A and B are shown apart, each in its own frame.
Chain A
């Protein structure tokens, strides 16, 4: 492994936000430290019920406890889960999460008005969910018609030694340490957690999923 390649790659990688590398944490100039900043999406079969799927979408990474106390979901930002169930990487269903009047309105899963980067809301919310405040002792869970929703701050579930990664791409180190240091330890994210029946995904075995944030015109 030639170090000069690292320095070149490292310089390019560090241009956009330096130490904020981690999953998708602060990946692009337009989204760094903004309410639209996505950290991660997770999708897994519910451990509570094999007939249900869990989707988790996390935004606003690297929140310290103090910052979490002031963090809110931005009313102008939609958090949208996109689901392709035909294998063409075009969304057949969306689940749109929109904070409104202190609650999290969940629309879908529903066929999008039009696929693509512009999203429109049609119809009524499937669930109007409580947003759990930072100081709450227990998470508020809203259930309706087979869907469970949580919205609020949680411990960032991502783990990675970002610091050491940055050191070796800049040429300062030749690899990772053992043990490493989790750069996300002690930080929070704003999270939407959904659990819903797999049957509502109209899938014949596999889906492709991605998360988008977008803001109102």
Chain B
């Protein structure tokens, strides 16, 4: 009887131990990427065209490696000079911004997005509250650069007359059209 009792106790201990390991957290597979570090800078973008139009070719890589909170200080003067070389007649644009203010806005390359209302790059009323797929960002941007205080100067430059995408967008997720 003594032997049977010790086997019984050992069996209980064995079951108890295996139950304990079943309840532990490591039966969930570990995430394969946790702890990985991505330190090689690639590209950076918010508003369409800022880097390519306004930053000198020599500085494109530097722009991509500058955090947005440091972009204003680093690039506003260069941006302002480029704006004035693109449009020597620039005084104010149709949003009322002078060259220093406009270039200051552009230099910090972030997209402002409303979380409470209409989201659009520009719809005639709302300005820079997001960016929808169908927003004509090119016309808006060129109008700001070349359109003067009324937005109607330089008529051949304030629209590229390409007003929509080559495919219709979807009204449901994922919204972008199927690939060609």
- CB contacts (< 8 Å) of A127 on chain B: these are none
Question: In the assembly, what is the distance between CA of A178 and CA of B35, in Å?
Answer: 53
CB distance from A43 to the nearest CB of B (A): 4
- Is B133 touching A195 in the complex (CB atoms < 8 A)? no
- Is A9 touching B178 in the complex (CB atoms < 8 A)? no
Beta-carbon contacts under 8 Å, B36-77 to A: 36-46, 48-53, 56-58, 60-61, 63-65, 67-69, 71
- Is B34 touching A123 in the complex (CB atoms < 8 A)? yes
- CB contacts (< 8 Å) of B113 on chain A: these are 43-44, 53, 206-209
- CB contacts (< 8 Å) of B7 on chain A: these are none
- Is A29 touching B31 in the complex (CB atoms < 8 A)? no
Stretch at the interface among B8-16, B94-102, B164-172: B164-172
Q: Does B115 contact A (CB under 8 A)?
A: yes
The interface residues of chain B, by DSSP majority, are classed as loop
- Is A155 touching B165 in the complex (CB atoms < 8 A)? yes
Q: Which listed residue (A41, A56, A84) contacts B176, Cβ 8 A?
A: A56
Given contacts A139-B174, A186-B166, A217-B40, contact A154 B179 (CB under 8 A): yes
Contact with B along A1-28 (1 / 0, CB 8 A): 1100100110011011000011110011
Contact with A along B126-166 (1 / 0, CB 8 A): 00011111001110000000000000001111011111111
- Is A45 touching B130 in the complex (CB atoms < 8 A)? yes
Q: How many residues of A contact B (CB 8 A)?
A: 112
Q: Which residue of B lies closest to A138 (CB)?
A: B178
Question: In the assembly, what is the distance between CA of A137 and CA of B152, in Å?
Answer: 45
Q: Which listed residue (A53, A63, A159, A206) contacts B166, Cβ 8 A?
A: A159
Question: In the assembly, what is the distance between CA of A13 and CA of B176, in Å?
Answer: 30
- Is A24 touching B48 in the complex (CB atoms < 8 A)? yes
Q: Which residue of B lies closest to A57 (CB)?
A: B45
- Is A210 touching B44 in the complex (CB atoms < 8 A)? yes
Q: Which listed residue (A16, A150, A209) contacts B111, Cβ 8 A?
A: A209
Q: Does A72 contact B (CB under 8 A)?
A: no
- Is A193 touching B43 in the complex (CB atoms < 8 A)? no
- CB contacts (< 8 Å) of A131 on chain B: these are none
- Is B173 touching A100 in the complex (CB atoms < 8 A)? no
17 A–B contacts, CB within 8 A, in A order = A2-B88, A28-B63, A30-B60, A45-B118, A47-B175, A53-B113, A65-B180, A88-B69, A89-B110, A117-B65, A159-B138, A160-B160, A180-B161, A188-B179, A208-B113, A209-B46, A214-B39
Task: Pick the 6 closest A-B CB pairs, nearest first.
Answer: A175-B156, A36-B42, A28-B60, A213-B42, A15-B57, A23-B48
